[in-house]
């Protein structure tokens, strides 16, 4: 009895001191001393990662934007603003590198996004960030957009380390009805709570719905267990939809697209404020680290702005890959600072694992642990970024003699889309996307939609560009001809990286992915329980062809669904 009372007494002491204590047992010191682990190692912090969709570099208040983001401005000002921070130019690549800490060339996801009907997802042999954090004792929750493939049940967020999930699997969809279309012939419902379709939640605006789920998670969380919360908002991705009361902040904005886009970000800003307030109310804030990041540059055709950077979403120009980002939290040693160190989205994987105290090998990672760089201002371990090497993008019939021998100095086929940043220098090859500068007043509106648009026409056959990003962040002075020695060095680096690349995985769309075959819901269609593989043998091929022919009826049904969905969007877009 006395021993039991001693245990209770020690536990009470532990609760008061917030340390971790243990009752003495056989083999402990005879003087009754207590070992307190908290004095040896601090508690792992709660990790909150907020990723937003298509927010442009110029679309946050502290970059001089016309968009009102008071909460984000304050959080960034109290934390560390990342002003040399890079992501990938489109959705899936940024998210895959966050989840794996590896460049696209090392996961086979070099080419484009993962399409809804594509039998493709994160490689199963690469451990994800939440999987590693679960091993370290974390509770892991995801809310929002996945966009990393779902062809098999083993590809879903709940199979890749997240203990709960509410959100969408595809790349985009209606913010209210959650209808998502891939092309003209495949449309379906895409809102999932765990592994089931959340039909009952349709009608709720995505940002507000996701923020409410986050608040619920925070209220129910045990503060003594470390938490990893990944909030992946679909805002401000198209379709441009938002509750009316956020639109009223921009009644004076004459550009319809910009008005809706701005209102979506103001709604997002309000939601982030609620998340932080809930962290504080639940006693989690003091031991938390909050990271905010856009997934790629803004899309000017949809109201976004990256001015004065060159290019936008889908390009390897600065406007496509330089992102809005900051870190906030009491655990930062130097607050209210600006970091101009070279940081990439792949760095969050080892950085968060380091904060979590997760053991295990860092072998195969392309990211770096940059916590002390951000928190203390110490030198950054990263000196270069491989944005990508995409051999699938090479135009058929592009002559090798000019691309490889002349432009590439015999080192690199410059018809291949690739980009690398090393120190101050940035090199681009191949078709890296439209390189226009689009001032805010040139955003699409009326008959003069491209007024003041700055266009740069490249010489015929040009396939190499070089810029000193430190002195020329807007990429206006191509120095490829002036510094051939730098071009050669960076071409060699591309060739060296390419030696480590895995074969790109870019399978064609599978007609069996059509949601009409599964009750009108997007979800896994391969490797399902009780499903027999029919890819082998004549009988299997015949059965598969019958199913594909039946899909033609599905295509017609889905086309009517898509038209209906678009009509609904127009009603919501006011």
Q: Could you list the active site residues?
A: 91, 147
Query: What DSSP letter does each residue of 259-310 carry, written as one string?
Result: HHHHHHHHHHHHHHHHHHHHHHHTT-GGGEEEEEEESS---GGGT---TTSS
- Alpha-carbon distance of 526 to 151, in angstroms, equals 6
- Alpha-carbon distance of 191 to 152, in angstroms, equals 17
End-to-end Cα spacing for the chain: 72
Cβ(121)–Cβ(151) under 8 Å?
Answer: yes
- 77 DSSP assignment: H
For residue 293, the Cα-to-chain-centroid distance in whole angstroms is 8
For residue 434, the Cα-to-chain-centroid distance in whole angstroms is 22
- 197 DSSP assignment: E
Range 93-96, long-range pairs (CB < 8 A, 24+ positions): 93/388, 94/51, 94/295, 94/296, 94/345, 95/51, 95/146, 95/147, 95/148, 95/232, 95/295, 96/122, 96/148
List the one residue out of 345, 296, 351, 359 whose CA is nearest residue 329: 351
Backbone angles phi, psi at 384, to 5 degrees: -150, 160
The three-class DSSP label of residue 63 is: helix
Q: Please, what is the Cα angle at 193 between 189 and 199, to 5 degrees?
A: 40
Instruction: Characterize 126-162 residue by residue with b for buried, 16 or more Cβ atoms within 10 angstroms of its Cβ, and e for exposed.
Output: bbbbbebbbebebbbbbbbbbbbbbbbeebbbbbbbb
**Residue labelled with tokens 């015929």:** 460
Query: What CA–CA distances, in Å, run from 104 to 96, 412, 446, 497?
Result: 8, 19, 39, 11
Cβ(86)–Cβ(387) under 8 Å?
Answer: yes
List the alpha helices (DSSP H) in 430-522: 484-499
The three-class DSSP label of residue 527 is: coil
The token duo for 105 is 């060339």
């Amino acid at each position: 009895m006395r021993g039991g009372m001693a245990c209770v007494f020690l536990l009470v002491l532990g609760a008061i001191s917030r340390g971790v204590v243990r009752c003495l047992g056989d083999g402990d010191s005879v003087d009754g001393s207590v070992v307190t682990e908290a004095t040896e190692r601090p508690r792992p912090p709660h990790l909150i990662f907020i990723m937003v969709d298509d927010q442009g570099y110029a679309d946050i208040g502290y970059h001089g934007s016309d968009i009102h983001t008071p909460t984000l401005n304050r959080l960034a000002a109290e934390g560390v603003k990342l002003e040399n921070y890079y992501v990938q130019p489109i959705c899936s690549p940024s998210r895959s590198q966050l989840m794996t800490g590896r460049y696209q060339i090392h996961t086979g996801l070099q080419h484009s996004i993962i399409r809804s009907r594509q039998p493709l997802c994160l490689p199963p042999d690469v451990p994800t960030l939440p999987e590693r954090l679960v091993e370290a004792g974390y509770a892991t929750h995801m809310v929002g957009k996945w966009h990393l493939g779902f062809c098999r049940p083993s590809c879903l967020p709940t199979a890749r380390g997240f203990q709960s999930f509410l959100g969408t699997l595809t790349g985009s969809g209606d913010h209210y009805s959650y209808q998502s279309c891939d092309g003209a012939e495949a449309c379906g419902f895409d809102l999932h709570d765990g592994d089931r379709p959340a039909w009952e939640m349709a009608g709720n605006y995505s940002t507000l719905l996701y923020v409410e789920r986050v608040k619920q998670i925070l209220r129910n969380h045990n503060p003594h267990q470390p938490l990893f919360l990944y909030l992946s908002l679909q805002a401000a991705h198209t379709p441009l939809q938002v509750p009316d009361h956020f639109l009223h902040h921009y009644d004076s904005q004459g550009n319809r697209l910009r008005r809706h886009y701005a209102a979506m970000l103001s709604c997002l800003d309000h939601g982030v404020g609620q998340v932080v307030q809930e962290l504080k109310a639940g006693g989690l804030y003091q031991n938390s680290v909050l990271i905010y990041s856009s997934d790629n540059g803004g899309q000017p055709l949809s109201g976004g702005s990256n001015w004065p950077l060159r290019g936008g979403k889908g390009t390897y120009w600065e406007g496509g890959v330089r992102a809005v980002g900051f870190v906030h939290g009491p655990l930062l040693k130097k607050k209210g600072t600006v970091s101009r160190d070279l940081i990439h989205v792949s760095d969050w994987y080892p950085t968060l694992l380091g904060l979590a105290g997760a053991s295990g090998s860092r072998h195969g990672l392309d990211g770096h642990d940059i916590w002390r760089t951000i928190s203390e201002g110490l030198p950054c371990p990263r000196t270069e970024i491989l944005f990508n090497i995409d051999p699938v993008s090479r135009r058929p019939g592009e002559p090798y003699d000019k691309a490889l021998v002349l432009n590439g100095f015999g080192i690199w086929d410059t018809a291949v889309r690739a980009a690398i940043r090393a120190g101050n220098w940035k090199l681009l090859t191949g078709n890296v996307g439209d390189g226009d500068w689009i001032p805010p007043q040139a955003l699409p509106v009326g008959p003069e939609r491209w007024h003041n648009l700055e266009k740069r026409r490249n010489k015929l056959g040009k396939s190499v560009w070089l810029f000193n990003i430190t002195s020329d962040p807007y990429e206006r002075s191509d120095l490829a001809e002036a510094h051939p020695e730098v071009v050669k060095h960076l071409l060699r680096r591309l060739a060296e990286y390419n030696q480590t690349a895995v074969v790109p995985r870019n399978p064609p769309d599978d007609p069996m992915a059509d949601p009409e075959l599964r009750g009108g819901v997007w979800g896994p269609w391969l490797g399902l329980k009780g499903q027999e593989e029919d890819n082998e043998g004549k009988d299997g091929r015949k059965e598969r062809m019958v199913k594909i022919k039946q899909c033609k009826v599905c295509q017609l049904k889905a086309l009517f669904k898509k038209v209906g969905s678009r009509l609904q969007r127009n009603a919501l877009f006011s």
